[in-house]
């Protein structure tokens, strides 16, 4: 059991480590408040690093697809990089064609957070960042604290606490890229379960249109666990829009039992099972369809070599009045928590 600062890099990026006595250990860096490595024991007890990423903390400063970072202010795509709040129009940074993806040109993944090891919370590192009014076009000064904890019962808990000095929109997530085989070859053999039969429809630019669709008994249905690759080659316009894979937002049942996982992924090779618990209304399944293996990662990350299960609110909610609101009112406290819980396949 420990929480400690393990290094400070040339450019001032700090690396922290948190672990429990069962061999689960996370390394977290202040650049983007991101997970750098995550070791989980496999069925033989050997530690496996299940995250994509670079060798060094500085590596993330180059081109990278938000590897394992905290995303904000708003996860996923905001259509036309614009929205109107309280009658006022806001123009955001465009960084995905005409749209705003994952917070804009310099989202939270590109910010240095201030770290703290709270003495009253074991195996925890807290990372704080104050986003100035108008950053990337978003209104209000937003103060955010992200907390990572490794619990004795093998959970990596991520919580987000935020407050803004003016009405704003806010929808954070963590963009961890997992491969539970640990070899980063492919995630298509991973078994996947998602406790939702509804996705938000997105257009050819992956902008959520406001419609939802029931996907029971279609290739998008993971309510009955199946290998990710099982139906991925079935021709469908949704796959065409998402570069031949999964990149969809699943809507979770509001009245679900929050003590049950909303999703799990399982590697039969290592036996590592990862369950996801969250209080968020949605989860994005993304199978790394935009990766092509050209980044200098510590293990090459090719097309569909990784899996993201990003808990979030409804994408593009600031432009879709039928979606639950992502408005954070002035002075109101935002809190959200997601846990990735590890075990070995029985």
String of contacts with ligand BGC for each residue 113-152, x by CB under 6 A: ----------------------------------------
Rounded CA separation 113/34 (Å): 10
In the block, tokens 């049950």 appear at 260
201 and 212 in contact (C-beta within 8 Å)?
Answer: yes
Looking at 106, 290, 292, 293, which residue binds ligand BGC (CB under 6 A)?
A: 290
Rounded CA separation 133/310 (Å): 26
43 and 163 in contact (C-beta within 8 Å)?
Answer: no
Q: Which stretch binds ligand BGC (CB under 6 A): 15-23, 43-51, 124-132, 283-291?
A: 283-291
The pair phi, psi for residue 111, each rounded to 5°, is -105, 150
Q: Which stretch binds ligand BGC (CB under 6 A): 38-46, 142-150, 256-264, 284-292?
A: 284-292
Looking at 14, 109, 195, 247, which residue binds ligand BGC (CB under 6 A)?
A: 247
User: Cα 277–160–323 angle (5° rounding)?
Assistant: 70
Q: Write down the catalytic residue from 27, 126, 136, 175.
A: 175
Q: How many residues bind ligand BGC (CB under 6 A)?
A: 9
Nearest approach, Cβ of 53 to ligand BGC (angstroms)?
A: 13
- Residue 286 near ligand BGC by CB under 6 A: yes
- Residue 245 near ligand BGC by CB under 6 A: no
Comparing CA positions, the residue from 5, 4, 50 lying closest to residue 24 is 50
Nearest position to ligand BGC, beta carbon: 65
Which residues make Cβ contacts (< 8 Å) with residue 195, sequence separation at least 6? 223, 252, 253, 256, 260, 261, 262, 263
Assigned token pair, 65? 């697809």
Comparing CA positions, the residue from 188, 211, 201 lying closest to residue 249 is 201
Task: Provide the 3-class DSSP secondary structure of residue 166.
Answer: coil
Query: Among this protein's residues, is 275 annotated catalytic?
Result: no
Q: Which of residues 153-212 bind ligand BGC (CB under 6 A)?
A: 206
Looking at 39, 66, 250, 342, which residue binds ligand BGC (CB under 6 A)?
A: 66
Looking at 65, 172, 182, 261, which residue binds ligand BGC (CB under 6 A)?
A: 65
Is 192 or 206 the residue whose CB approaches ligand BGC more closely? Answer: 206
> What Å distances lie between residue 141 and 64, 73, 134, 257, 328, CA to CA?
27, 11, 8, 34, 12
Nearest approach, Cβ of 23 to ligand BGC (angstroms)?
A: 29
Q: Give the number of other CB atoms < 10 A from CB of residue 162.
A: 23
- Residue 105 near ligand BGC by CB under 6 A: no
Q: Which of residues 295-314 bind ligand BGC (CB under 6 A)?
A: 308, 310
Nearest approach, Cβ of 48 to ligand BGC (angstroms)?
A: 23
- In eight-state DSSP terms, residue 323 is S
Bond into 242 cis (ω within 30): no
Is 206 or 215 the residue whose CB approaches ligand BGC more closely? Answer: 206
Query: Among this protein's residues, is 135 annotated catalytic?
Result: no
Interface residues with ligand BGC (CB under 6 A) are 65-66, 206, 247, 284, 286, 290, 308, 310
Active site residues: 175, 310
């Amino acid at each position: 059991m420990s929480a400690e600062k393990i290094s400070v890099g040339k450019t001032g990026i700090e690396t922290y480590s948190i672990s429990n006595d069962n061999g689960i250990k996370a390394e977290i860096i202040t650049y983007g408040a991101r997970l750098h490595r995550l070791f989980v024991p496999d069925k033989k007890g050997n530690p496996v690093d299940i995250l994509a990423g670079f060798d060094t903390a500085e590596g993330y400063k180059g081109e990278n697809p938000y590897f394992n970072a905290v995303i904000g202010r708003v996860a996923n795509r905001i259509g036309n990089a614009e929205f109107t709040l309280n009658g006022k129009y806001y123009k955001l940074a465009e960084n995905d064609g005409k749209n705003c993806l994952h917070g804009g040109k310099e989202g939270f993944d590109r910010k240095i957070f201030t770290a703290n090891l709270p003495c009253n919370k074991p195996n925890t590192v807290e990372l704080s960042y104050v986003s100035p009014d108008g950053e990337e076009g978003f209104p209000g000064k937003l103060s955010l604290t992200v907390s990572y904890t490794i619990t004795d019962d093998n959970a990596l808990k991520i919580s987000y606490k935020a407050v803004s000095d003016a009405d704003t929109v806010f929808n954070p997530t963590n963009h961890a890229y997992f491969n539970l085989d640990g070899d980063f070859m492919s995630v298509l053999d991973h078994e996947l379960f998602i406790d939702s039969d509804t996705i938000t429809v997105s257009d050819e630019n992956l902008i959520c249109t406001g419609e939802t669709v029931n996907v029971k008994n279609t290739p998008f249905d993971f309510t009955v666990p199946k290998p990710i690759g099982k139906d991925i080659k079935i021709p469908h316009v949704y796959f065409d829009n998402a570069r031949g894979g999964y990149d969809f937002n699943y809507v979770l049942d509001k009245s679900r039992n929050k003590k049950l996982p909303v999703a799990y992924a399982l590697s039969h090779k290592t036996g590592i099972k990862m369950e996801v618990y969250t209080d968020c209304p949605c989860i994005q399944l993304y199978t790394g369809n935009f990766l092509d293996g050209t980044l200098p990662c510590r293990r090459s990350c090719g097309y569909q070599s990784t899996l993201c299960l990003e808990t979030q609110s409804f994408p593009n909610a600031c432009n879709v009045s039928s979606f639950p609101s992502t408005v954070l009112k002035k002075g109101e406290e935002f809190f959200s928590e997601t846990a990735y819980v590890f075990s070995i396949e029985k």
